[in-house]
Amino acid sequence: MVSKYKYKYMAKGNILVVDDNKSILSAIEMLLQDEFDTVKTISNPNLIPSLLQAGGFDLILLDMNFSAGVNTGNEGLYWLQRAKELKPNTEVVLITAYGDVELAVKALKKGAADFILKPWDNEKLKSTLRNVFQLQQSKKEIKILKKKESILKQEINREQQFFIAKSPEMVKIMSLVRKVAQTDANVLITGANGTGKELIARELHRASKKAGEIMVPVDMGAISETLFESELFGHIRGAFTDARKDRTGKMEAANNGTLFLDEIGNLPLHLQPKLLSALQNRAITKIGDNKPIPINIRLVCATNCNLEEMVAKNLFREDLLYRVNTIQVDIPPLQNRKEDIEEIAGFYLKKYCSKYRKECMQISKEALLKLKNYQWPGNVRELQHTIEKAVILSDKKVLKPDDFFFKPMLPGPTDAFSGTLEEMERMMILKTIKENGENYSAAAGHLGVTRQTLYNKMKKYNL
């Protein structure tokens, strides 16, 4: 009794039994009534098409011979083929009184899930049908998961922002990006903070052969040194104290897609050989494991540092630079491509009017002139935040010059400063980074903080 109810719980579903012997139909119906939600029996195989088109059957238990004196199995093979044509996802198990290995092989090739001989063993028959049903449910789940995965990839890779390129410099860069995207060459994107390096990386991915796969971004400056290997390569359960379960690293997650290593210049020197080894071998090994996992990735890196200068100062490995820098894309600061300001401002204006449910605003000519005359030390990111702030605070349909507020510029050595403590800290960080040639490790040393603390401050002040 326990076994009976266990199986009833495990193997729900609907089954169609087709056999010309009504005694067999009655016996099988009684045998399977506790195994399936519905057991439908028919003696005429010509009813199969209409029943399948009506839907609702997960399995078919199908006899192979229906005409008196015929034991070739051809009738069963015919109806097997018809059933698979009508409902490819419905599994078919064939049953016959004549054991023939060649016939069984032929049936399996035509799509049969299994083959049972008469007279059957009751437990074996039930076990076979349960296994076929569970396999069918697993296939359904896999299809659903693959569909969800496809939708998820589309959503992750969905174009959130457009890279607007109207200036001659950016038109040339976008032409290079589309050309390089069609290859598997590693790309290094350089430029100051806020110029849109990640947008260029996403454009490379969208235009590449891997566009249907995922792009995994990794902020190299934000990864703790102690967790570097776990983040990039993953770990297995028990590999270290807090490793309570297996973890997939970012490089494995990006397999068959694009791996975007942002701010690669912030990767400490002693960790660079581990990244280089993974890129050279095209394989990673999880912490606590010794089995290499092959990876197939398109590598795109970005930095606001001068990696050649860092190589000269022994802060960056030359062989790693050659590995990531097959093609280099240099993005100019916004102040050097002011033709793009009006287009970018218009894009974000439309975006934030929609986000904050405001009537469609416009920017006056005087306000646009103010935007074009500003130096934009924070580049496109600063322009984006400036537009967002104006949309939030203004109730006008046309934005005027006084609707736009800019961050105070760094004071000269003799200028007095009367701002807030946070503004002073921001300026000090900017000044120190500039004096150290945008070398974050050196700047952190001068400021008396760790590189991670400096990076967190930069995130806080949107530097």
* 415 pLDDT above the threshold of 60: no
The reported pLDDT for the residue numbered 75 is 85
- pLDDT classification of 323: cutoffs 50, 70, 90: very high
C-alpha pair distances (Å), 235 with each of 226, 249, 287: 13, 7, 4
* 2 pLDDT above the threshold of 60: no
The predicted model gives 420-441 an average pLDDT of 78
- pLDDT classification of 200: cutoffs 50, 70, 90: very high
- pLDDT classification of 409: cutoffs 50, 70, 90: low
The predicted model gives 25-46 an average pLDDT of 90
The reported pLDDT for the residue numbered 156 is 56
C-alpha pair distances (Å), 31 with each of 9, 21, 56: 16, 16, 20
Domains of the chain, CATH where assigned = 2-141 (3.40.50.2300), 168-332 (3.40.50.300), 336-403 (1.10.8.60), 421-460 (1.10.10)
* 418 pLDDT above the threshold of 60: no
The reported pLDDT for the residue numbered 3 is 41
Residue 84, exposed/middle/buried by CB under 10 A (0-12, 13-18, 19+)? middle
The reported pLDDT for the residue numbered 70 is 62
Q: What is the pLDDT of residues 358-369, one digit of tens each?
A: 989 999 999 999
Percent of the chain residues topping a pLDDT of 90: 43
Q: What is the pLDDT of residues 222-279, one digit of tens each?
A: 888 888 999 999 998 888 888 888 888 999 989 999 999 999 999 999 999 999 999 9
- pLDDT classification of 8: cutoffs 50, 70, 90: very low
3-state secondary structure labels for all residues of 261-292? EECHHHCCHHHHHHHHHHHHHCEECCECCCCC
* 168 pLDDT above the threshold of 60: yes
Distance between CA atoms of 300 and 20, rounded to whole angstroms?
A: 65
The reported pLDDT for the residue numbered 290 is 85
Neighbouring CB atoms inside 10 A of 83's CB total 25
In sequence order, which residues have a C-beta less than 8 Å from that of residue 228 and are 6 or more positions away? Answer: 271, 274
The reported pLDDT for the residue numbered 181 is 94
C-alpha pair distances (Å), 450 with each of 222, 232, 304, 456: 12, 22, 19, 10
| Count of residues in the chain | 463
| Phi, psi torsion values for 369, nearest 5 degrees | -65, -40
Query: What 8-state DSSP symbol labels residue 119?
Result: S
Residue type, 253: A
Is the torsion defined by CA of 332, 325, 317, 221 positive or negative?
positive
C-alpha pair distances (Å), 371 with each of 77, 218, 334, 365, 423: 76, 32, 11, 10, 22
User: Who wins on pLDDT, 149 or 197?
Assistant: 197
Distance between CA atoms of 183 and 187, rounded to whole angstroms?
A: 10
Residue type, 33: Q
The reported pLDDT for the residue numbered 148 is 59
- pLDDT classification of 417: cutoffs 50, 70, 90: low
- pLDDT classification of 108: cutoffs 50, 70, 90: confident
Q: What is the pLDDT of residues 142-162, one digit of tens each?
A: 776 766 566 566 555 554 555
Distance between CA atoms of 378 and 250, rounded to whole angstroms?
A: 29
* 53 pLDDT above the threshold of 90: no
The reported pLDDT for the residue numbered 314 is 93
